[in-house]
Structure 1
Amino acid sequence: MNTQHKMYLRMITRSFFGRLSRVLIASLSIAVGAATLSGLGLIAYTVPAQMQQELRSYGANLIVVPSGADSLTDESLAEADAVVGENLGRAPYQYTNLLYNQQPISAMGTQVDNAQKVRPYWEIDGSVPTREGEILVGEKVAEQYRFAVGDTVSLSEPTREDGAAENLTVSGLLHTGGPEDDLIVMGLDTLNDFTGGASEYNLIEYSVNVNGQELTDLAKETTDEDAGMEAEVVRRVSESESGIAQTLQTLIWIVSAIICVLTLIAISATLNAVVSERAREIGLKKALGAHSKDILREFIGESVLLGIIGGAVGSAIGIWMADFISMQAFSVRIEVSWWVVPVTLVLSVIIALVGSLGPAKRISKINPVDVLGGE
């Protein structure tokens, strides 16, 4: 660093700390804007994605059904898995009718552990079936037939010629508030003991963490008429996710734009006052030989320093503010990303530079004769 650069930095710091009250006001304005921008930016970036994760508890957002009269097979399941790829949960379902004391009961076979991932709203009193021969009984079925955990239930398949019944153990009672309350739920192997055939599925559910358009494209890609399967988007879930995320992000960006403008006005007004106070000083510098570009460079340096200090303070406050708001309003813990601080610093410096540009140009063109002459 040569003597000229040292002198430039000394002039900036002396000017900066020589008017501490004005500097604090300007820094506070930038810090407030930076805190708001960094906080809202974190919320706009993090909260919608985490809210989509929370909305996955509503159930599957993509289903695969047979496109014709035939059921889906293990080959169909493997093909759909390959297309959908990474997912939060996937479960196939097979429905049939069984008999209990010659009374029809609807039964559903599935991979219970996977079904709980796709339908996390399931509540089970007791335990999940872990062995063949264990079942879950829906709440309404349990009330109708007075089933309890640990009971043995004899069920039979109505189309079997021998009419033999299978003794099954109730491992848990299922509460969903949905159609599952009218069903008996069991593993696919247990259901196949009744049907006597290979696994055939009436429905495959997926919980996929993608936005609305990506989900629609995924459904089109999964649909395969030759394989006899058709994918559909569960609109009530996917539209809720997309609508909440888009509305929240749009609102946040509008507020952020307004904050930028207000911060810019505050900076400009503060620096205008600083310029008026320093008119004689600048006039004297120009009378001693300073050029307009030197004066302009000095103000730009001060603005950059203001932006860095205000941006650093605002970033720290903004991270805390984003975490506080997200917990209070959305009950979601914010995930702080590495880009928050540098992006906030850059924006703060840009706002400080833009706000100081007008006053800096005006003071750099000042006529020393007018100022030093008392005009």
Structure 2
Amino acid sequence: MKWSELIFMSLRTVTSSPLRTFLTMLGVIIGVSSVVTLVSIGQGTSEQIAKQYENMGTNLLVVNALGSGRATQLDYDELMKFENFPEFQSIAPTMTKNGSNIKYDRTQEKYNVIGTNDRYLNIVKAKIDKGRNLSPADLEFRSNVALLGSEVAKTFFGVLDPVGEDINIDGIVFTVIGTLQEKGSNIGGSSADNSVIVPLETARRQFKLGQIRTTYVEAPTKDDIYKAQETMKQYLTYKFKSDTGFQLTNQDELLKQRTEATNTLTNQLVAVALISLLVGGIGIMNIMLVTVSERTREIGIRKSIGAKRRNILLQFLVEAVVISGLGGLIGLCLGIGISYALPYISPKQTTKLSLDISLYAFLFSVIVGVVFGLYPANKASKLRPIDALRSD
């Protein structure tokens, strides 16, 4: 018997009881669609994390002073001297005042104020929209000037150009010298969009801020960041007389750790989804055993007119594969559909469809049909014609 005839007969058989066939396929459908969807979510999340780190740069090192008091203070002039080392490109010490009261005209809101230098924007990959960046003169003369994040500018000025306008920050007047382009959140949820940036010494003097808590360090390349990290660690250990009074956060290491964590979680979820495929395979075996019992007389008639054991084996095996293959195909289409629909349903959720994994999931569903259909098919092929014909 030709393969085309076997497949046609199998399709006719499985479509004769559509509800039973669908229920048999259900485990395979759920398994394949789950694998495709979960992998696309996992890869989309990994890509989203990578883009967030690219926004900050993987050649970025963040230095945080953890202690309090003079013994754990970071000195601005000492930090800036590191720019003379080849593994350091730019350094931006910062002071932050959270929840400052900012007022313009009759509008008043709370935003974070960041005191820093003219390197900060380049390091965190923020760009000027209107006006100019902080200048060395602003830092030297402790000028009361401010850069507004996109969200802050929109809140107070809407579509108007705020450059040259005066705003009130905690009772102190600052002149707006520029605004930033919208950038979105960085890792951890922080963002320049909802911040006001002022010269570092201005922030220290006007807002009575004690010390530099966070410093952003940019290396020339991603490879240099590890050299910069080691150099900074040696300096801080010597300065603080301890290796516990500070924290060094390497963006490249964080990216690798988060990507590995996401991939591990995705693999675990996929493993759970594959169990559904195995459960579906057991369902296929069960229904094929029932089918063999129901069609025992048919098997006896076919054998009595010359059908060989191989023909019976292939007939029932192909039926099992057709059921699992159709279930895999439906699950594949469902998984692809969900992957494309998710970003529209939940805009914050990104997905990235993996064609390779989708194909593997479908092929696995076919293999499930072969494995779990083999026993019932073999049982049918071993029936003796005389016994089969006696069956009611």
Check 1:342–1:59 CA distance in 2 against 1; reply closer, same or farther (3 A cut). Answer: closer
State the Cα distance separating 1:321 from its structure 2 match.
Answer: 1.8
Deviating more after overlay: 345-354 vs 300-309: 300-309
State the Cα distance separating 1:132 from its structure 2 match.
Answer: 8.2
Residue in structure 2 matching 1:233, options 244, 249, 254: 249
> Which whole-Å CA distance do the structure 2 matches of 1:24 and 1:267 have between them?
11
Check 1:218–1:301 CA distance in 2 against 1; reply closer, same or farther (3 A cut). Answer: farther
Residue in structure 2 matching 1:171, options 163, 167, 178: 178
Residue in structure 1 matching 2:119, options 70, 92, 110: 110
Task: Verify: 1:204 aligned to 2:217, yes or no.
Answer: yes
Count of matched residue positions in the alignment of Structure 1 and Structure 2: 300
1:61–1:237 CA contact under 8 A, matched in 2 = no
- Secondary structure of 1:44's counterpart equals helix
Residue in structure 2 matching 1:292, options 301, 304, 309: 309
State the Cα distance separating 1:253 from its structure 2 match.
Answer: 2.3
Task: Verify: 1:369 aligned to 2:386, yes or no.
Answer: yes
Task: Verify: 1:147 aligned to 2:145, yes or no.
Answer: no
Deviations 1:115-173 (Å, cap 9, x if unpaired)?
342xx6x9x99645298867863789944531132xxxxxxxxxxxxxxxxxxxx3359
Alignment RMSD: 4.8
Report the equivalent of 1:267: 284
- Secondary structure of 1:129's counterpart equals coil
Report the equivalent of 2:157: none
Amino acid in structure 1 at the alignment position of 2:383: I
Check 1:229–1:257 CA distance in 2 against 1; reply closer, same or farther (3 A cut). Answer: farther
State the Cα distance separating 1:218 from its structure 2 match.
Answer: 8.1
Report the equivalent of 2:83: 73
- Secondary structure of 1:93's counterpart equals strand
Check 1:203–1:38 CA distance in 2 against 1; reply closer, same or farther (3 A cut). Answer: closer
Deviations 1:279-304 (Å, cap 9, x if unpaired)?
11122222233332332222222333
> Which whole-Å CA distance do the structure 1 matches of 2:289 and 2:61 have between them?
62
> Which whole-Å CA distance do the structure 2 matches of 1:10 and 1:306 have between them?
16
1:283–1:372 CA contact under 8 A, matched in 2 = yes
> Which whole-Å CA distance do the structure 1 matches of 2:179 and 2:173 have between them?
13
> Which whole-Å CA distance do the structure 1 matches of 2:14 and 2:256 have between them?
55
Deviations 1:255-302 (Å, cap 9, x if unpaired)?
213312221222222222222222111222222333323322222223
Report the equivalent of 2:47: 49
Residue in structure 2 matching 1:314, options 323, 327, 331: 331
- So what's the TM-score if we normalise by structure 1? 0.61
> Which whole-Å CA distance do the structure 1 matches of 2:328 and 2:170 have between them?
63
Report the equivalent of 1:129: 133
> Which whole-Å CA distance do the structure 2 matches of 1:107 and 1:73 have between them?
16
Check 1:323–1:281 CA distance in 2 against 1; reply closer, same or farther (3 A cut). Answer: same
> Which whole-Å CA distance do the structure 1 matches of 2:388 and 2:274 have between them?
38
- Secondary structure of 2:175's counterpart equals coil
Report the equivalent of 1:279: 296
Mapping 1:7-18, distance limit 5 Å: 8-18=3-13
State the Cα distance separating 1:349 from its structure 2 match.
Answer: 0.5
Percent of residue pairs bearing the same amino acid type: 22
Amino acid in structure 2 at the alignment position of 1:272: L
Residue in structure 2 matching 1:30, options 28, 31, 46: 28
> Which whole-Å CA distance do the structure 1 matches of 2:131 and 2:14 have between them?
71
- So what's the TM-score if we normalise by structure 2? 0.59
In structure 2, the gaps of 5 or more residues are 64-73, 96-113, 140-144, 149-166, 182-189, 202-214, 237-246
- Secondary structure of 2:118's counterpart equals strand
1:25–1:270 CA contact under 8 A, matched in 2 = no
> Which whole-Å CA distance do the structure 2 matches of 1:331 and 1:278 have between them?
53
Check 1:242–1:30 CA distance in 2 against 1; reply closer, same or farther (3 A cut). Answer: closer
Mapping 1:319-330, distance limit 5 Å: 319-325=336-342, 328=345
> Which whole-Å CA distance do the structure 1 matches of 2:387 and 2:271 have between them?
44
Report the equivalent of 2:199: 184
In structure 1, the gaps of 5 or more residues are 81-90, 98-104, 150-169, 187-201, 209-214
